Chains A and B, each alone.
Chain A
């Protein structure tokens, strides 16, 4: 730590960190200097000049006085800063006066501002349109606070000039009224500097400069990812969320987004009618640094749905009828205990807390005596569980925002921009700072645009590429020279097996040129630290364990384990899938990552619970719904909580549960799944509960309730514990979610030091070994942790089964922007929607076989999806697909944004369709008279 710099501010001696500006040091010291363009998470900008102060610096000729913008002036030793001398206050007023000329300010300079209601008669004849009460940001406006602090005169000498700019209200999710804009450029900067999107820019020059998009286009065209970051930093009412636009919050609660494993910390604003009206990223959130995404920010309305299930129901003569909890529980007990353990299953909520998941698995194992229990979105369990076999812990090794400091990042078969959005932010920032991004994916994704190396393998051969990259690492002697690596277990065998991965062979298997593989290997292997981020969007079940092993081998060989900025990050689904795994809510693991198939592990849990733990491995989500459809599972508890009835990830859940003899559902609305229940329990949503989530980087975070429960809804753990008690089993007498947490931290060693009190203060990354242990941002950097082992990867044969009806594989990609093609904006429900000509990339040989020439209009139709629909595209053929048998289409993210905006469903986030490979058939389109040319 370099020495702090001492200086004086308003007579008070203060210590600043080297490199801090006067403003930053003042904020840290609790001295208020007004500012508008500065924002704590961004670089100083120096545009508004509101932050002027008087600065005296010592010099040999005596102290030098200057008037400086404190946001750009670095602190120096023995500096004397005065924030309030009369001439500075006057100067600041003058600056604000000028600023106010283009912002309606009748109310800002009026002493009655706090007293005026929306219907009051204005004593000063301020036009209704120009009043603060007519602004959606009223009462939470940063500009107002700043102006008030400067105590402007009621009558400013300058006249208000209304710019009369058009208000943009037809893009998804938020409105833009630049008549209220003070051109602080915070939005432009957050979009460029933090999100690396530049979907907004400063347009035009001098006095006419204003924020906008190219040619005033829709945000759908401008490359916006609808993350809402610009809204969250805007100090005025210029940018405002459209839903509940005019609603005022009566409280704002710090909690965690329930939509993906990033676990963004957010503030949830609740109005006086007990509705969640707004979600804002928390800039103190360590997992997200204030960021959020289209799902977390805008698809958050579902707890307010008027159709909430408020009381338990049972099926009587085919109809669901209201009942009491007691009767519902009785019916559940009788219904479930009829079946053999192998015939029952428990699906824990896709948004369940650690406490919910813990009680779910305990219920399954203790009361129902089965290991058929899993969390609903644990659909790629191999991605984490294989890490346990390879390295010791079944979790990402490092922290998300360390990626910002990585020198190289390898992303395999994942699309974080849409699925784990905020994780893509540090990746994009890293590339701008010069890191090389290597993407292995047959699909074009948002990240391929930032990639220095985009390897586009034949689908199903991704793992072979990783093997080849490792081979180049050893061939070119790029491996870590630490003896620990050279003597690690399995290294000999590994090097031996790498002979299989010679570049000529792998190049022909994968269809990626050898030079490109070599270049990518160098980009990853030649710099430290380098990280690997891997998903399984295009990788089949059989290959996933291999994928993890290959990625781990690569990270180990290059010395990227146990170092900041290195490591491995699995990309899976579900907000708390990690937590579910940690607390044993999976068919193969018990609490604390103990293994079902190990007797001593079962014994440890059995001792604590006081009952035998069933020993046969159960069915996971992946197969449980299939087993329901197949009749092996006859009765189940499904904590539905937003599970889509039919989806690519989970298949046809609706049909599966329809086939059960006895179904218990806990849900918050009468969903397609709930309506089939024999017993339906009213569920609380994430806005109404306390509990903990564990995110992708092992960060345990606290959920806090913002909305009050108005009916008989119960949080998952409570409903499940009540079922446990009703079955007559002991060990379900939990009083609160904290008492569940207390029990589970006793069994999950890596959670040992976690308490609700500590979490209230800050989130903690496991392992947290003791109540005074600060947690572990980076795994495997301590001597006492198990030393990893290399294990050779075998190349699996591609199991591409040619299909007569749908002979080609579609690699559907999606990107934020593609300026090379014209788009058209049309209106649907008064909102912008975008369409354009699609381009269908075909391999020349496939095209020839189909009688298709470049430029032909072709139809693409997929095998029916799990949700019943088909993907249908019409596009212009181009013979540029790199692989026989693969076609590729890249659509725009804008379509996802408008789908979410236009969705009639109360809970659209879980229904956003990912981009799995699809089997398709391509035919020449009938020549339409209106076709191009």
Chain B
């Protein structure tokens, strides 16, 4: 018999997820609604959330839940960075030089694709249109838009975000 598989942090995370699952207000509660609730609360869907959802929804197994979760590209299964930087490279932004902006942001963050920085501070995402084409090129940091951006101003905004606490904390 072994013990010590479970740590206090695990238990706390499970508790938080259980609370989240239970506090869904809508009438129809499904695997999908549960996963969305978790992602909204925790910002991602950790493995224990798959397990807890399987326990919460009668008749579901972890494999059923993972089947749903892995189907949707919107779910993320690792914690996001403290700040999200979205660089638009939709058609308008592209014409207005989004690729230069992207390259500058990437080199500032030390990334060459979407994802998290190694220090967990930033998540970089590409966006196919942030819906503000009139201000192209556009980036969004923590969902705040910055228009008519240049490579330099983009890097300045990223640097400013770095010194701020994660939103929602």
Contact = CB atoms under 8 A, between A and B. Distances in A.
A819 B62 contact: yes
B63 interface: yes
A114 interface: no
A204 interface: yes
Point out which of B50, B59, B60, B70 has the most chain A C-beta atoms below 10 A from its C-beta.
Answer: B70
A205 B71 contact: yes
A223 B63 contact: yes
Contact of A932 (B7, B60, B61): B7
B4 interface: yes
Nearest to A199: B63
Nearest to B48: A822
A251 interface: no
A822 B1 contact: no
A202 interface: yes
Contact of B5 (A203, A213, A222, A837): A837
Contacts of A838: 1
B23 interface: no
A204 B2 CA distance: 34
Contacts of B5: 822-824, 835-837
Contact of B61 (A198, A202, A212): A198
Point out which of B48, B61, B63 has the most chain A C-beta atoms below 10 A from its C-beta.
Answer: B63
Nearest to A823: B5
B3 to A, nearest CB: 5
B64 interface: yes
B66 A203 contact: yes
Contacts of B4: 837, 930-932
B72 to A, nearest CB: 8
A821 interface: yes
Interface in B1-16: 1-8, 10, 14
Contacts of B71: 204-205
A611 B53 CA distance: 69
Nearest to A874: B1
Contacts of B142: none
A762 to B, nearest CB: 35
A202 B69 CA distance: 11
Contacts of A928: 3
Contacts of A817: 54, 61-62
Contact of A215 (B10, B14, B47, B73): B47
A928 B60 CA distance: 37
Nearest to B14: A820
Interface string B65-79: 111001111000000
B74 to A, nearest CB: 12
Nearest to B9: A933
Nearest to A205: B71
Contacts of A205: 70-73
Interface string A208-239: 00001111010001110000000000000000
A201 B61 CA distance: 9
Nearest to A836: B5
Interface residue range, chain A: 35 or more
A819 B55 contact: yes
A878 to B, nearest CB: 13
Contacts of A837: 2-6
Contacts of B62: 213-214, 217, 221-223, 817, 819
Contacts of B63: 198-201, 212-214, 222-223
Nearest to B10: A822
A842 B51 CA distance: 25
B112 to A, nearest CB: 23
B106 to A, nearest CB: 26
Given A198-B61, A201-B63, A203-B70, A820 B7 contact: no
Given A932-B7, A933-B7, A933-B8, A215 B66 contact: yes
A857 B2 contact: no
Contacts of A213: 62-63, 66
Contacts of A199: 61, 63
Interface in A807-837: 817, 819-824, 835-837
A821 B7 CA distance: 11
A355 B66 CA distance: 51
Nearest to A930: B4
A198 B7 contact: no
Contact of A819 (B51, B67, B72): B51
Given A198-B63, A820-B55, A932-B6, A873 B1 contact: yes
B3 A203 contact: no
A214 B51 CA distance: 9
Point out which of A192, A822, A876 has the most chain B C-beta atoms below 10 A from its C-beta.
Answer: A822
A271 B66 CA distance: 40
A932 B1 contact: no
Contacts of B47: 214-215
Interface in B41-55: 47-48, 50-52, 54-55
B21 to A, nearest CB: 12
Interface string A835-876: 111100000000000000000010000000000000011111
A54 to B, nearest CB: 34
Nearest to A872: B1
B148 to A, nearest CB: 37
B1 to A, nearest CB: 4
A435 to B, nearest CB: 14
A198 B8 contact: no
Contacts of B7: 932-933
A197 interface: yes
Contacts of B72: 205
Nearest to B47: A215
Nearest to A933: B8
Contacts of B52: 819-820
A620 to B, nearest CB: 37
Contacts of A222: 61-63
A204 B63 CA distance: 11
B10 to A, nearest CB: 6
B8 to A, nearest CB: 5
Contacts of B3: 837, 857, 874-876, 928, 930-932
A891 to B, nearest CB: 10
Nearest to B18: A820
B2 A214 contact: no
Contact of A824 (B2, B8, B54): B2
A432 B59 contact: yes
A801 B4 CA distance: 36
Contacts of A197: 61
Nearest to A818: B55
A823 B47 CA distance: 12
Contacts of A217: 62
Contacts of A198: 60-61, 63-64
A396 B18 CA distance: 44
A854 to B, nearest CB: 13
Nearest to A216: B66
A238 to B, nearest CB: 17
Interface string A47-83: 0000000000000000000000000000000000000
Given A819-B51, A837-B6, A933-B8, A214 B65 contact: yes
Contact of B6 (A201, A221, A821): A821
Nearest to A200: B63
A214 to B, nearest CB: 4
Contacts of A200: 63
Given A201-B66, A222-B61, A215 B1 contact: no
A202 B65 CA distance: 10
Contacts of B64: 192, 198, 201
A200 B61 CA distance: 9
8 contacts: A192-B64, A201-B64, A213-B63, A214-B65, A222-B61, A819-B62, A857-B3, A933-B8
Closest 7 CB pairs of A and B: A819-B51, A201-B67, A214-B66, A214-B62, A201-B63, A198-B61, A874-B1
Given A214-B61, A817-B61, A932-B8, 8 more contacts: A201-B66, A204-B71, A205-B71, A222-B63, A823-B5, A838-B1, A930-B3, A931-B3
